[in-house]
Structure 1
Amino acid sequence: MMGVGLKERRSGFFRTLSGRFLLLTVVFVMLAEVLIFVPSIARFREDYLLLRLEKAQIASLALLATDGMISAELEKELLANADVYNVVLWRDQIRQLILSSPVTNDVSATYDLRRATPLILLRDALVVLVDTQPRAIRVLGNPVQDAGSLIEVTMPTQPLRQAMLEYGLRILVLSALISVVTAALLFLAVQRLLVVPIRRVVRHMALYAEAPEDARRVIAPTSTVVELRDAEEALQSLQTQMTGALRQKERLAQLGSAVAKISHDLRNILTTAQLFADRMERSADPAVARIAPKLVGSITRAVSLCESTLAFGKAEEPPPRLSRFALRPLIDEVIEAEALDERPGVTCLVDVPMGMVLRADTEQLYRILANLMRNAMQALEATGKDGVIEVSGGESDTEWWIKVGDTGPGLPPRAREHLFTAFQGGARKGGSGLGLAIAFELVRGHGGRLELLRSDEAGTEFIIHFPKVDGLDAMVA
């Protein structure tokens, strides 16, 4: 069991960033050492052969200096010192066998170092390493110090191969040592520069996930690595936005609970007021009889709004009840109810054909127009100057459209960024932005679109699109 656990820990280590980086470092360093090893072993073989030629030349010169008067033992010692079988020196176009001893094997190959290219040297070195049989080879080269035109030696391959193996082993051991040291240094550097900061980010993410509403748990960027710094700053921005969104959500939940309670009690109060308004309709006074229906209509809308608020709090917002009706009388009713034509300095212009009929929810469209026209009136009043509120409408083959515009100062940039978001799209100081958010949701419930057509120094204009055959109309038709 302990062996299995140790194996799992080892395999788990190499699944980490540090483990994989350590493994890759060792592999790449060893690969680099192998690429260095092959040329270096070829260079070692060339140097070994050149050294044999030089020693053989020295031995031949010693023999020439004594006019060949040396003993057989001395000749044998000279050849053994040069590690060759025989030496042939070309001088004055004459081939002279200077030193000689019995050759135990037939000459298997001849190597001319005068014409050897790097590729040939690499090939010949690998052949020597692979061939394990004792052989004899002939080597040709240029004598040093212009002692002749050519020197030729016959030598065994076993001492050469043994020397190459010992040299290669030293290279491999040194390469392994360099790999381990390099990998260790890079491992520590990666741990310090990457792994530790990444683990810090992960710890912050886990800590923040435990209580995302706590602003103290938002990460503070500290990394000096540019990429990690960017990641920390992006995470900080995300956490800050999420914390703000959660706080706003909590406030909205509390506000929704309070509104639901208020709407419940207000509905009861308005129901009582509706009973009194019904009695006023039966009054003999002409003025009271004329005003009573409007009062009843206003109270009915207020009761309906309270009931809709309660339904929204339960996430049970009913779909619009579609019917066909004339648009112009509804607009006139909104203007009269909001007393827009009675505001000093405010002029209402309506450009809607009297016979224009559309299909929508009457009460919801009333609320949409009331919110848009009320916002337009507030924008004009904020300027303290005379202005115009214009409502126009029309239709095409695929949709009905309604425009509501004003000659106010236009929307500020912040309001345009969060135009249809509750509590963020308020165009005036102290405004909640609920009007546009409600209008947007109601239009979308019809399968339509509410868009900002323009907003500049000349004023603001919204447009409502109601589809004729798409969305809810297509299902009802």
Structure 2
Amino acid sequence: MRRLFARSLSARLLGLTIGFVMLAELLLFVPSIASFRQEGLEMRARSAGLVAEALMSQDAEASSREASQMLAEQFMLQTDAVFLAAFQDGRTILIVGDAPDAKVIATEDLRKSRRLPNFIGTSMDFFARGNGYLRVIAPSPVAGQDRLELLVPCAAIGADLRAYAGRILILSLLIAAFVGALIYFSMLRLIVRPIQRLAHDMTAFREAPERKQRSGPPTMRADEIGQLQREFHEVKQSLRSAFRQRERLASLGLSVTKINHDLRNVLSTALLMADRLSMNPDPKLAEMGERLTRTVERGVGLTEEVLTYSSAREPQPDLERLPLSRIVADVQMDMRTAFPRIWVSNRIARDVWVRADPEQLYRILSNLTRNAAQAMADRAKPRVEISADIVGETAIITIEDNGPGLPESVEDRLFLPFTRGQSEGSTGLGLSISKELAEGMGGSLELLDTGPDGTRFILGLPLAEPA
């Protein structure tokens, strides 16, 4: 039983409910039993007044004496009184019984009005078991009499109080059991059962987080339990989405590993042909060969970076001091070839030097400009502007376009893997890789704002020390 109450929330709830109801009954019991004693003494005083009025008006005939004797016996039987006397003009008139030899323990004057019952007298009478008497003083209904006094054994009053307490105890237990059952079943339905289901779902999710459990829609309860259930449902959805992304990344890494060797052979052949083309005497062909060489080398680097990302290893940047405008110019030239309709404006001053990895910086800027170009495919005058401001020891690079903006559904998870924007052909890895590359170089990449008039990203990089 002790183990049941220690482990079961419902058993604890039932025990606490019954305990609190009994505590409330106990707090009500003290004034209740004091009021019961007060009412008992007042009832005895009224009976004494009726007996005094009846006996004082009887004639001295034999039949009257017999009736008086019966009335006195009935009064003593009902009230447990052993003595009743009236006081008139300084004289004591004995009505019923004789004064006992035992001492009077306490006196209760009913002629004084009380706002509160006598709690001290009640406690004394409740535990009284000896031969003492309680002296009760009451007003007399007979004209000319000052008062009535009667003696009642304290043991008799204590017996009445204990009998009353027993009845109250039984009634309190019944009320506690009934109210406790109502509260228990209400709490069981409103609190315990939902928490048990939530605990079961948590256990099942912990044991097999990737397996989708059968569960209904999120609850519509507006209280704290409903909020907890909805939050847990959202957490499960988010974690399962993360598990799916992890599986896709693992599959992507395995696929890239398999094709990496063959792709290197193809790119090596293309790189060899580009090198020969760059050595052509014709300047135009030589320039095309150099650009083709850089493109193939970046393709090789792209394959390596995707493989590194899929294997959860951060690429190590090779930081060097380089002019920011030159990297932007390379991006500008490649964008003119890939997207002739897109106007890329390079507003970087020539004296802005940053400390970064040239290939990774090119990758970041290329990803951002290509995403903007793909989103502006239907624009009449698509434009991308790249500018920079110096803030302290950091170069704040702004990449701004006049495209349609990003959907609101992807703004909060824009830099998470496999999050697509406006482009349908994107894998959703570009921005997540770019953010990781920027942070690896000691910088940052953030979305500044987006809307129907365009989108702005800011790339922060540390400035290079003067040469």
Picking from 5, 10, 28, the partner of 1:18 is 10
Cα separation, partners in 2 of 1:409 and 1:211, compared to 1, 3 Å: same
Match of 2:55 in 1: 63
Cα separation, partners in 2 of 1:159 and 1:24, compared to 1, 3 Å: same
* More displaced 10-residue stretch of structure 1: 77-86 or 111-120: 77-86
Question: Does structure 1 retain, via aligned residues, the 8 Å contact 2:387–2:399?
Answer: yes
C-alpha separation between the residues in 1 aligned to 2:219 and 2:400? 50
Bigger relative contact order (CA 8 A; separation at least 6)? 2
Picking from 428, 438, 441, the partner of 1:433 is 428
The reply to whether residue 315 of structure 1 matches residue 308 of structure 2 is no
Picking from 405, 409, 428, the partner of 2:404 is 409
Match of 2:121 in 1: 124
Match of 2:23 in 1: 31
Match of 1:169 in 2: 166
Q: Which secondary structure does the structure 1 equivalent of 2:397 belong to? A: strand
C-alpha separation between the residues in 1 aligned to 2:363 and 2:215? 41
1:360 CA drift (Å)? 0.8
Cα separation, partners in 2 of 1:457 and 1:173, compared to 1, 3 Å: closer
Cα separation, partners in 2 of 1:265 and 1:148, compared to 1, 3 Å: farther
1:233 CA drift (Å)? 3.6
Question: Does structure 2 retain, via aligned residues, the 8 Å contact 1:136–1:155?
Answer: yes
In structure 1, give the amino acid aligned to 2:40.
Answer: Y
The reply to whether residue 143 of structure 1 matches residue 140 of structure 2 is yes
The reply to whether residue 97 of structure 1 matches residue 94 of structure 2 is yes
Aligned residues between the structures? 461
Picking from 365, 368, 380, the partner of 1:369 is 365
Question: Does structure 2 retain, via aligned residues, the 8 Å contact 1:405–1:462?
Answer: yes
Deviations 1:452-476 (A, max 9, x none): 233233322222111349xxx9xxx
Match of 2:393 in 1: 398
Question: Does structure 1 retain, via aligned residues, the 8 Å contact 2:406–2:421?
Answer: no
1:139 CA drift (Å)? 0.8
In structure 2, give the amino acid aligned to 1:11.
Answer: R
In structure 2, give the amino acid aligned to 1:300.
Answer: E
Cα separation, partners in 2 of 1:207 and 1:314, compared to 1, 3 Å: closer
Cα separation, partners in 2 of 1:214 and 1:286, compared to 1, 3 Å: same
The reply to whether residue 204 of structure 1 matches residue 204 of structure 2 is no
| Pairing of 1:109-258 with structure 2 (within 5 A) | 109-144=106-141, 148-215=145-212, 217-221=214-218, 228-258=225-255
In structure 2, give the amino acid aligned to 1:12.
Answer: L
1:322 CA drift (Å)? 0.9
Cα separation, partners in 2 of 1:225 and 1:174, compared to 1, 3 Å: farther
Cα separation, partners in 2 of 1:269 and 1:144, compared to 1, 3 Å: farther
Question: Does structure 2 retain, via aligned residues, the 8 Å contact 1:204–1:219?
Answer: no
Q: Which secondary structure does the structure 2 equivalent of 1:289 belong to? A: helix
| Pairing of 1:446-461 with structure 2 (within 5 A) | 446-461=441-456
Picking from 32, 45, 65, the partner of 1:40 is 32
1:324 CA drift (Å)? 0.6
Question: Does structure 2 retain, via aligned residues, the 8 Å contact 1:139–1:152?
Answer: yes
Gapped runs of 5+ residues in structure 1? 1-8
1:27 CA drift (Å)? 1.2
Cα separation, partners in 2 of 1:45 and 1:342, compared to 1, 3 Å: closer
Cα separation, partners in 2 of 1:341 and 1:276, compared to 1, 3 Å: closer
In structure 2, give the amino acid aligned to 1:374.
Answer: R
Question: Does structure 2 retain, via aligned residues, the 8 Å contact 1:18–1:191?
Answer: yes
Match of 1:262 in 2: 259
C-alpha separation between the residues in 1 aligned to 2:344 and 2:131? 114
C-alpha separation between the residues in 2 aligned to 1:349 and 1:293? 23
Question: Does structure 1 retain, via aligned residues, the 8 Å contact 2:128–2:154?
Answer: no
Cα separation, partners in 2 of 1:349 and 1:75, compared to 1, 3 Å: closer
Cα separation, partners in 2 of 1:444 and 1:66, compared to 1, 3 Å: same
The reply to whether residue 380 of structure 1 matches residue 380 of structure 2 is no
Q: Which secondary structure does the structure 2 equivalent of 1:195 belong to? A: helix
In structure 1, give the amino acid aligned to 2:41.
Answer: L
In structure 1, give the amino acid aligned to 2:375.
Answer: A
Deviations 1:2-46 (A, max 9, x none): xxxxxxx43333442211111112212211222232222222222
Cα separation, partners in 2 of 1:324 and 1:96, compared to 1, 3 Å: same
1:119 CA drift (Å)? 3.3
**RMSD value, Cα:** 3.2
Match of 1:4 in 2: none
1:420 CA drift (Å)? 1.7
Picking from 331, 335, 342, the partner of 1:334 is 331
TM-score of the superposed pair, with normalisation by structure 1: 0.85
Question: Does structure 1 retain, via aligned residues, the 8 Å contact 2:389–2:395?
Answer: yes
Q: Which secondary structure does the structure 2 equivalent of 1:217 belong to? A: coil
